[in-house]
Amino acid sequence: MVETQSWLSELEQLLEKKTSFVLIYPPMEPKGKPTTEDMECMKFIRRWLKTERELMAKYCRAMVITLQPDGRDREEMERTAPVVSSLYGPDVFLVDNSQAAQQRASEILKAH
């Protein structure tokens, strides 16, 4: 839960700047079935989004998720991306590596 609270605090700092940004996520290892702590973190995020979703949609232009180097998470992330987008607000893009993530983020910011 501490990591989630820290992440949301950092996100609030970005939102307070009232400027456009793109979130870039590194490859994530699949966690399997959510733990009780995972579920509590998800509830905490949903509560946070009740007040902050409008600002997320206004300033966060996109979320760019970097896939595993071998692409083994592509199918799962393709199913997950629309859910993440509807939850947080911004569009979600999947890319193959960190260089592509940086490039995509730059393109998105230039377009806005």
pLDDT in tens, 41-99: 989 999 999 999 999 999 999 999 999 999 899 999 999 999 999 989 899 999 999 99
Domain that includes residue 30, residue range:
1-111
Distance, CA of 98 to CA of 56 (rounded, Å): 23
pTM above 0.95, yes or no: no
Distance, CA of 62 to CA of 95 (rounded, Å): 13
What CATH number has the domain bearing residue 54? Answer: 3.40.50
* Residue (of 80, 42, 85) closest to 63 by Cα position: 85
* Residue (of 4, 7, 88) closest to 41 by Cα position: 4
Total count of domains within the chain = 1
pLDDT in tens, 35-51: 999 899 989 999 999 99
